[in-house]
Structures are given as structure tokens and as C-alpha cells.
Amino acid sequence: MLPSRGAVVKGSELVDATRFLAASCRLGQPLGEALRLVADPEVVDAQASGDTLGQALSKQGARFGEFYRMVVATAEETPQPAELLEGLAEWLEVKAALDRRLSAALHYPLMVFQLLVLQIILFFGYVLPSVVIPVLEHTHKQAPDPFWFRAVALAVLVAALVLQSWSLLQPRTFKILPWVKKTRRKAVQSLWLRGLSSLVAAGLPLPEALQKAETLLERGEAPALRALSVRVGEGSSLEQALKGDNTLEAITRAALTTEECLADALLHAAGVLELEVVEDSDRLVALAQPVALILLGVPVALSILSFWLPFYETSYLLGI
């Protein structure tokens, strides 16, 4: 059973409950009766008072996403609820896997940036004023005022704290990077294709399926997919609606313009894009590793060089 109202619904719990609903419907049990076995009392009471499943779930606030509520409400009206619910469960699993993959890829550059800031603060705040400058003064060489080095370290620290207070030092900040945006675009399209595939496979007319699939998109996300729904709703074919657009992946366009077995083509394209997201995320992490070594190695090398260079010069002058 799903946790009661106010409790957080874990992704795995929601997937298990959805698969149970799908299995129950496949065995011939009405969706409403199956839902009573896994839903919390609030949902059951709302159904008993005459609400539809969609209305009952909508009263649970943000516990169930808009797409989830829409699919369950659609499953209540469709003659093939089991297939639609199975597609929903698979969509939830894929979304969770892609979110974890992208989150891991974004946390790595954040960690590198934080370590780099720490290295700069230590280098200018301690190594130069407390180690290098005393050595230079001991060898009777003119040394810069350590105040300026400490000022640089303090400025970097203050800037980092300000960015942190503004919630800018977060993994989502790195979504502006071009290669990250490209990977996220593929993830959005793959989830949209998978969701649309389940709706089409359940027998929904294409214009209605496209309209319902809009709930998968966040505000301002994938405008080409939103425009696709509008144009098809106005009577255009998918091929006509896609003309002039170059933001969608080639496999997305190919799947949408398939004339036969559209649901299978959409699902296949979603699977291909999901594999590409995994590969791109792994590539981001693999590329970040040498960059991390370089960024972290430069301050360390400068620290060692600035510490040993005065000793080397002194030894050279003394003929040692």
C-alpha cells in the first residue's frame, strides 16, 4: 500500500503499486477495485464519494506527478488499462534511472569546482603569505606584501559563499553547459517518446495522445514538441508539423513520421536515446576526470614550485 497522505511516495513504491494495478487489470479486475488495495484511505474515500480516479489522485497534491495522474485517469476510461499502466511503470523506472545518471554526471564538475576553490584559497591564503614570502625574506629578496594574497583568498571565499547562498553552486547550475544541454535534450525526448508510445499503444487517437504527452514537459522545455501537439490538433500530419524544425534528434523525427506501428517505433526511438544519454553521461564523467587532475594539479604544482624555487636559487648562488 502507498503511504498515507503527507508521506513521501518513494519511486520504487510507486512503480510496484503501478505494476500491481496493471497485473490486476490484466486478470480482469476493474481498475477502481484494484486501486483500493494499494491506495491510501483518502483516495478510497474520494472514490466512494463519486470522484473519478484522476480527481481522487489530484487531491493528493504533488504526491503524484501530473503525467501519472493523467495516465491513471486515462486508463480508467480506456478499454486497455493494463497496457497503459505497464507502460507507465516502465516510464517511471526509466525516468528514475536517467535522473540518477544525469545527477551523477552533474555532481562531478561541481565537486571539481569546489576542490579548485579550496585549492586557490589555501594557495593564496596560506602557502604564499606563510611559506613562500618568509623564505624570500630570509634570502634577502624583495617580497610582495602578503596582505594582497590573503585579500585574494578572502575574495574567493566570499564569492563562493555568495554563490552558495544564491543556490548557484548546485548541480543544476552546470545545465547551461552545451554538452550537458544536449544530453538533457535527449533525455527529455526519450521520456516524451516513451510516454507517447504508451498512450498510442493504449488506443488513444494521435492528437489526444500528443496533447496528454505535453504533461511530460516542464515549462519552457522542448518547445518543438509542444508546437507539434498544436499543429497536429489543427489538422496537420506529423510530417508537415515537423517541417522547419532542427531541434529534435534525427531518430525522434524518424519515429514520429513512421506510418505503421507508430507505438513500436516511438518506443524503439526512446530506447536508442536512453542508451545515448547513458553513453553521453559516462563520457562527461570520463572527460571530467583528466580536467579535474589538471585543475587540481596546477595549484599543487604552483605551491611546490613557489616553495622550492627560493631554495634552488639560494643553493645555486652558494654553489651547492
The residue written with cell numbers 571565499 in the block is 157
The angle at the Cα of 190, spanning 188 to 194, to the nearest 5 degrees, equals: 120
Q: What is the pLDDT of residues 224-266, one digit of tens each?
A: 888 888 888 888 888 888 887 888 899 999 999 887 889 999 9
* Overall average pLDDT of the 120-128 stretch: 85
Tell me the C-alpha distance between 313 and 310, whole Å: 5
Contacts 24+ apart (CB under 8 A), 15-20: 15/89, 15/92, 15/93, 15/96, 18/85, 18/88, 18/89, 18/92, 19/85, 19/86, 19/89
User: Does residue 5 carry a pLDDT above 60?
Assistant: no
pLDDT value of residue 286: 82
User: Does residue 310 carry a pLDDT above 70?
Assistant: no
Least confident of 3-12, 96-105, 177-186, 288-297: 3-12
Contact criterion met (CB below 8 Å) for 64 and 9: yes
Domain with CATH 1.20.81 in the chain: 180-280
pLDDT value of residue 317: 61
Tell me which CATH code domain 180-280 carries: 1.20.81
Q: What is the pLDDT of residues 62-87, one digit of tens each?
A: 677 888 888 888 888 888 888 899 99
Q: What is the pLDDT of residues 195-209, one digit of tens each?
A: 999 999 888 888 899
pLDDT value of residue 269: 95
Under DSSP, the state recorded for 27 is T
User: Does residue 8 carry a pLDDT above 60?
Assistant: no
User: Does residue 41 carry a pLDDT above 80?
Assistant: no
User: Does residue 6 carry a pLDDT above 60?
Assistant: no
Q: How confident is the model at residue 279 (pLDDT cuts 50, 70, 90)?
A: very high
* Overall average pLDDT of the 175-202 stretch: 89
Contact criterion met (CB below 8 Å) for 235 and 210: no
Nearest C-alpha neighbor of 306 from the set 123, 95, 80: 123
